[in-house]
């Protein structure tokens, strides 16, 4: 590709991908004429901050405006046209038909390069009653302002949230903060789909602890008119099992779909996921058109499968790469890894890479381990346990996915693990990482190191693991559960049918254990049971360590 320094570039859509592309193109070329077309009233705003404005943590919605058109014009010499809709692309003539939504004027603009960043639109399935008054989506600043104004007149009203993804969970927290009782409905068995069920159970517990009424594994059948007994001002969500969930306000957070109307009308290739198909340079099937952000289909960096990923971070990188490609620079998008994090009240939940469901769908072999290290040195005040799950290739140990849930230090660990996945590191290499340590921040063996060590022990065959899902199907005639915690610790609860021998007494009492049965060993977090497994294995017993130990089992048991 040659170098093009005198181009007329039109960017359709602002926010993350479009604004990033326009700004990068300007930094690479002072000569290029760059027009940014935005259907909404704001060309560059922080849509990830919308829930926090509704909840009151961000007091003024103006704080969500990243840059005004005037500033973008003055600093970047960009021609920003808000309240302007692109209605048609003429690929042969290389023109775009635009409509000024304030004056209804329709006109055309020619382009040398066109960047599509139309984003996505909230899903509104054809559920009877879904268009009732009092139902809201949250995608842009006008949405947030409308919802905020509606809630202002309904202080303490009951809120129904349909969908347990990022927006649904963030809004559950914010509506409770605002004083509204919240019911959250999720058609799938657990919320936070980027997590596996054995990690999402901690999110469920946190939500319930803060009064959120969870309805899991149940879809909404209809939204009905409330009757006198319901006492709801908006509608009643009727679930598949007939349950009636009344709400004074309903937030529809069932996900988004890529906005591809313009691309389809232009005859651009659409991928199997419904997003615009692009190559590594974000180029579409037309050599003069690029596409970025929520509307494009990307390749997952671990599974190699096409996917949709409506996140701001990838959109920003894609915008930069598209601008590089237009200007003749060698730049390529390496795929998406889905790194994300949520705050749910006091808890943070994060994931990166592939989860178990994605690996199963891709037909990839994997091993999983759970560990519960403290977020910083246990002797320093305020330490709390992290729940960590690693998924890795059982053949070569390459890290495939990671999930972390905890009160503190989650963001630091998930970012290290995301870097490890994108760098192709193995669990042994993760165990060897040299990470920052001081007692208020971590431990001499960081939780990331500990997770890598635990996975490496399994990879090398030093220990075999069982998982909490195995416990329910255990046959007591062939399996023995062994708790190696101290007796005082068992007061808080034990796994049913387990026998107890503290690790400190194990060598003296191991003759009490059956040699004709497999022994599954657990402690509180998995470290002492690993020691016990090493002892018993070297004395001829058949043993497995319960991954995640009692902390994982008790969380899954609810």
The DSSP symbol for 484 reads -
How many residues would you count in the chain?
558
User: Is pLDDT of 490 > 80?
Assistant: yes
CA angle 178, 180, 181 (to 5 degrees): 145
pLDDT at 473: 67
Q: Tokens representing 110? A: 């020619």
Cα 202 to its chain centre, rounded Å, is: 15
**Mean per-residue pLDDT for 182-189?**
97
Residues 149 and 250 in one domain: yes
Parallel, antiparallel, or unpaired for β 8-12 and 33-38? parallel
Query: 364 in a domain, yes or no?
Result: yes
Last-in-domain residue among 254, 269, 296? 254
pLDDT at 63: 85
Q: Which of 23, 29, 35, 43 is nearest to 109 (CA)?
A: 35
Reported as a single tens digit per residue, the pLDDT across 15-27 is: 789 989 999 999 9
3-state secondary structure (DSSP) of residue 127: coil
The 10 Å CB-count burial string (b at 16+, else e) for 61-78 is beebebbbbeebeeebeb
d(CA 287, CA 280): 13
Count CB neighbours of 508 within 10 A: 9
Confidence of residue 1 (pLDDT cuts 50, 70, 90): very low
Query: 377 in a domain, yes or no?
Result: yes
Which range is least confidently modeled, 23-37, 98-112, 193-207, 466-480?
466-480
The DSSP symbol for 358 reads H
Residues 46 and 94 in one domain: yes
In the chain, the N- to C-terminal Cα span, in Å, equals 58
User: Is pLDDT of 523 > 50?
Assistant: yes
Residues 87 and 44 in one domain: yes
Distances (CA, A) of 137 to 140, 153, 213, 233, 388: 9, 18, 20, 17, 33
Reported as a single tens digit per residue, the pLDDT across 239-255 is: 999 999 999 999 999 99
Reported as a single tens digit per residue, the pLDDT across 544-553 is: 999 999 999 9
**Mean per-residue pLDDT for 435-454?**
96
**Mean per-residue pLDDT for 5-17?**
84
3-state secondary structure (DSSP) of residue 185: strand
User: pTM for the full model?
Assistant: 0.93
pLDDT at 258: 95
User: Is pLDDT of 529 > 80?
Assistant: yes
| CATH code of the domain in which 108 resides | 3.50.50.60
User: DSSP readout, 99-116?
Assistant: EETTT--EEEEE-SEEEE
Query: 334 in a domain, yes or no?
Result: no
Query: 1 in a domain, yes or no?
Result: no
Give just the sign of the alpha carbon dihedral 328, 330, 331, 332: positive
Residues 36 and 92 in one domain: yes
**Mean per-residue pLDDT for 524-534?**
95
**Mean per-residue pLDDT for 182-195?**
97
Structural domain of residue 434, as residue ranges? 346-459
Last-in-domain residue among 403, 428, 459? 459
Query: 125 in a domain, yes or no?
Result: no
Residues 6+ apart with CB under 8 A from 520: 466, 470, 471, 474, 479, 480, 481, 482, 543, 544, 545, 546
Reported as a single tens digit per residue, the pLDDT across 196-232 is: 999 999 999 999 999 999 999 999 999 999 888 888 8
Residues 25 and 106 in one domain: yes
User: Is pLDDT of 306 > 80?
Assistant: yes
Reported as a single tens digit per residue, the pLDDT across 246-286 is: 999 999 999 999 999 999 999 999 999 999 999 999 999 99
Whether 123 contacts 29, CB under 8 Å: no
Confidence of residue 6 (pLDDT cuts 50, 70, 90): low
Counting beta carbons within 10 angstroms of the beta carbon of residue 449, is it exposed (0 to 12), middle (13 to 18) or buried (19 or more)? buried
Catalytic (active-site) positions = 523
Residues 455 and 359 in one domain: yes
Reported as a single tens digit per residue, the pLDDT across 128-177 is: 999 999 999 999 999 999 999 999 988 889 999 999 999 999 999 999 99
Residues 360 and 444 in one domain: yes
Last-in-domain residue among 267, 298, 326? 326
Give me the number of domains the chain comprises: 4
Query: 355 in a domain, yes or no?
Result: yes
pLDDT at 232: 84
Distances (CA, A) of 262 to 87, 98, 105, 428: 7, 12, 19, 48
Whether 237 contacts 381, CB under 8 Å: no
Residues 269 and 169 in one domain: no
pLDDT at 2: 45
Residues 159 and 246 in one domain: yes
Residues 354 and 292 in one domain: no
| CATH code of the domain in which 535 resides | 3.40.250.10
Confidence of residue 4 (pLDDT cuts 50, 70, 90): low
Reported as a single tens digit per residue, the pLDDT across 41-59 is: 887 788 889 999 999 999 9
More confident residue, 333 or 227: 333
The mean pLDDT value of the chain amounts to 93
pLDDT at 228: 80
3-state secondary structure (DSSP) of residue 194: coil
Residues 490 and 515 in one domain: yes
Query: 336 in a domain, yes or no?
Result: no
Cα 478 to its chain centre, rounded Å, is: 40
pLDDT at 13: 92
Residues 163 and 188 in one domain: yes
Reported as a single tens digit per residue, the pLDDT across 59-108 is: 998 888 877 777 878 788 999 999 999 999 999 999 999 999 999 999 99
Give just the sign of the alpha carbon dihedral 300, 217, 386, 484: negative
């Amino acid at each position: 590709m040659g170098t093009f320094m005198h181009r007329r570039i039109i960017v359709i859509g602002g926010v993350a991908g479009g604004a990033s592309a326009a700004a990068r193109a300007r930094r690479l070329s002072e000569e290029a004429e760059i027009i940014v077309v935005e259907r909404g009233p704001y060309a560059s705003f922080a849509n990830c901050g919308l829930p926090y404005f509704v909840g009151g943590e961000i007091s003024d919605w103006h704080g969500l405006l990243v840059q005004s058109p005037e500033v973008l014009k003055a600093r970047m010499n960009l021609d920003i046209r808000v309240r302007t809709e692109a209605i048609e692309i003429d690929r042969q003539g290389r023109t775009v038909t635009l409509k000024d939504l304030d004056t209804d004027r329709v006109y055309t603009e020619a382009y040398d390069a066109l960047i599509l960043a139309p984003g996505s639109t909230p899903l509104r399935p054809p559920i009877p009653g879904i268009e009732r008054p009092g139902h809201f989506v949250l995608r842009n600043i006008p949405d947030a302002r409308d919802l905020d104004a509606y809630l202002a007149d309904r202080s303490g009203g009951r809120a129904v949230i349909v969908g347990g993804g990022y927006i649904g969970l963030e809004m559950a927290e914010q509506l409770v903060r605002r004083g509204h009782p919240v019911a959250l409905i999720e058609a799938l068995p657990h919320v936070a789909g980027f997590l596996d069920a054995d990690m999402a159970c901690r999110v469920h517990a946190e939500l319930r602890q803060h009064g959120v009424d969870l309805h899991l594994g149940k879809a909404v059948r209809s939204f009905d008119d409330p009757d006198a007994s319901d006492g709801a001002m908006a509608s009643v969500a009727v679930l598949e099992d007939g349950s009636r969930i009344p709400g004074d306000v309903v937030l529809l957070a069932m996900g988004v779909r890529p906005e591809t109307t313009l691309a389809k009308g232009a005859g651009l290739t659409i991928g199997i996921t419904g997003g615009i198909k692009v190559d590594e340079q974000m180029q579409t099937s037309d050599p003069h058109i690029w596409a970025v952000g929520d509307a494009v289909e990307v390749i997952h960096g671990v599974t190699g499968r096409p996917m949709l990923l409506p996140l701001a971070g990838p959109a920003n990188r894609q915008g930069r790469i598209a601008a590089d490609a237009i200007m003749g620079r060698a730049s390529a998008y390496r795929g998406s890894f889905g790194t994300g994090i949520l705050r749910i009240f006091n808890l943070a939940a994060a994931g990166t890479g592939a989860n178990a469901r994605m690996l199963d769908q891709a037909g990839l072999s994997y091993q999983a381990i759970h560990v519960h290290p403290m977020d910083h040195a246990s002797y320093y005040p305020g330490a709390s346990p992290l729940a960590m799950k690693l998924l890795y290739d059982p053949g070569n140990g390459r890290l495939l996915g990671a999930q972390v849930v905890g009160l503190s230090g989650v963001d630091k660990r998930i970012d290290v693990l995301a870097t490890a996945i994108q760098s192709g590191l193995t669990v042994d290499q993760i165990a060897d990482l040299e990470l920052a340590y001081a007692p208020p921040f971590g431990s001499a063996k960081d939780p990331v190191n500990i997770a890598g060590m635990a996975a490496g022990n399994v990879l090398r065959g030093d220990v075999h693991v069982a998982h909490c899902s195995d416990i329910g199907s255990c046959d007591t005639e062939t399996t023995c559960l062994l708790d190696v915690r101290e007796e005082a610790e068992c007061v808080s609860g034990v796994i049913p049918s387990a026998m107890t021998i503290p690790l400190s007494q194990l060598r003296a009492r191991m003759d009490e254990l059956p040699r004709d049965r497999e022994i599954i060993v657990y402690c509180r977090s998995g470290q002492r049971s690993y020691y016990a497994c090493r002892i018993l294995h070297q004395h001829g017993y058949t043993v497995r360590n319960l991954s995640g130990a009692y902390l994982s089992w008790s969380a899954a048991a609810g």
